[in-house]
Amino acid sequence: MLKFFVRLLLTMAALKGADICLDNFNLNKGFLSLLIFSLILGIVNWIIKPILVFFSIPLIVLSIGLFYLCINALILYVTSLIMPGELTATAWGIFWGSILMSFFHWLLTVIFRSREKN
């Protein structure tokens, strides 16, 4: 259960980091709304993303994995449709926001895993 809350906080921090770094990627509301948005994003990642990845394997292989970035952006867009008003972003904002969010999430995960080992 603790692992779930840590991953949720990492996702929230990654979303906020993308919000701070990009002008055309804006999270509009407060902490509770960000928490709910992160929960919905996690559920969408868990349910829809494996299906999208499975059906787009040929595109992922042909693009040498770059189409996976489009899938991440699509997942973020679907989440913003489920919770309207929370994320205001252009198409490029969602694309670059998903890339930055993935990078920040990876970086924070590496930092927290290295602290667990020590």
**What whole-number percentage of the chain has pLDDT above 70?**
96
Under 8 Å between Cβ of 51 and 45: no
What local confidence, expressed as pLDDT, does residue 57 receive? 93
Please give the Cα distance from 104 to 38 (Å, whole number).
Answer: 14
Beta strand pairing call for 87-89 and 25-27: antiparallel
Helix (H, G, I), strand (E, B) or coil at 26: strand
Q: How confident is the model at residue 74 (pLDDT cuts 50, 70, 90)?
A: very high
- Does residue 118 register a pLDDT over 80? no
Closest CA to 41 of 8, 6, 4: 8
